[in-house]
Every structure is written in structure tokens, then in C-alpha cells.
Amino acid sequence: MVIKARLVGLRIAEVPTTLDKAGRSRGPHLRPWRDAWRHIRFMLLYCPRWLFLYPGVGLILAGAVLGAVVLGHALTRGSQMTDAHMLLLAAAAVLLGFQGVAFAFCARIYSLNEGLLPEDATLERMFRYFTLETGLAAGAILLVLGVAGGAYVANSWTQAGASIRDPQETLLVAIPAATALCLGGQVVFISFLLSFLGLRRR
């Protein structure tokens, strides 16, 4: 009741009251840990931004900045194996962050469809511009970039010979290419899912 009152902008006040001791002889039926977790889990459904969106955006930004720093260091001072390791961590942060952002939109639409949250004008505007077709186009671009990077790595590997090729020279291309492939596939899949969830909204 408090959450819904806050969401629709109602005034909330506290009325003093006096409680009498219960006349029951049995113990309390509540279980503190189980019921507290059920309460927290229920409240998290009302705030997909703090649960998914903000952590996801933070991970994407952190991964992108770390990846840019690593690639800049490799281009100016020469690549080292530690650069590839750090770039792999940056790619993982970007992928995990994108999952968080995608989950935020899915949870938001689900909450709207179930009547748990009030209408969201920002989300309605998003559906006007972010359609299934635009999502498929963005995913296709990422997939093409990933395939191109993978082809470059495979070509350089076959030309130099697998026995003498230094892995650190190709990992700095292979990791971004694999990240683009994963992101492209995720964008395509989440575009279809958001389109399905948005059918009821339309």
C-alpha cells in the first residue's frame, strides 16, 4: 500500500495508534528471514531501475572505459599479454551490463502490463523509435563487425602459421570481435522479446 501510494503521488501520513498484546498462546507464525526476503523480493519488482538498469549502465561504462584504455595502451606502447587479460574483463563487464539493461526494460514492461507500475511516458516514446526492425538492424551491424574481426584473426593466423603465431597479437582483435558477436546476438534476441512484451502495450 505504501509503495503504490508513493508511485501515484498520494500524501502519506502516520497516525498514532496503541497496540494491545495478542491473547494467543501460540508463538508467532512469521519467519523473520523467509518473510523478510519475500518482502524485499516483492519490492524489487517495483524498482527495475535500481535492480537492473543503473548497475547495468555502470558496468557498460566501466567496461567501455577500461577497454578504451587497454587498447590505447596497446597501440601506443605495444601489446602485452596483460592487456589481453584486462580487455577480456572489460568485455565481460560490457556483456553483463547489457544484460542488466535489457532485463530492466523487460521487467518494466512486465510490471506495466500487470498493473504494478503506473504508465510511463518515456517507455511509450521508446517504443515509437526502438522497434523490432531497428533492433534487428543494430544487431546485424554488430554481428557483421564481429564476423569481420573473426575473419581477420583467422586469416592472420593461417598466414603466419599456428605454430609461430603470438597469441597476444590476435587476442586484442579476437576479444572485441567475440564481444561484438555476443552483443549482436543479444540485441537481436532482446529485440524480439521486447516486441512480444510490447504487443499488449500497443
136-178 tens-digit pLDDT: 999 999 999 999 988 888 887 777 555 555 566 678 888 999 9
Cα–Cα distance, 73 to 122 (Å, whole number): 39
Instruction: Mark out the alpha helices in 114-166 (DSSP H runs).
Output: 121-129, 132-160
* pLDDT value at 188 more than 80: yes
- Read off the pLDDT band of 64 (50, 70, 90): very high
- Are 46 and 90 contacting, i.e. CB atoms less than 8 angstroms apart? no
* pLDDT value at 127 more than 90: no
* pLDDT value at 124 more than 80: no
Cα–Cα distance, 11 to 155 (Å, whole number): 66
Mean pLDDT along residues 36-41: 86
Query: What integer pLDDT is reported at residue 182 of this predicted model?
Result: 94
Helices (H) and strands (E) in the chain, counts: 8, 0
Q: Which residue, 120, 126, 181, is CA-closest to 150? A: 181
User: What residues does each domain of the chain span?
Assistant: 45-201
Give 64 or 43, the one with higher predicted confidence: 64
Helix (H, G, I), strand (E, B) or coil at 18: coil
Stretch among 24-28, 90-94, 127-131, 168-172 having the lowest mean pLDDT? 24-28
Question: What is the residue-averaged pLDDT of the chain?
Answer: 83
Cα–Cα distance, 11 to 156 (Å, whole number): 67
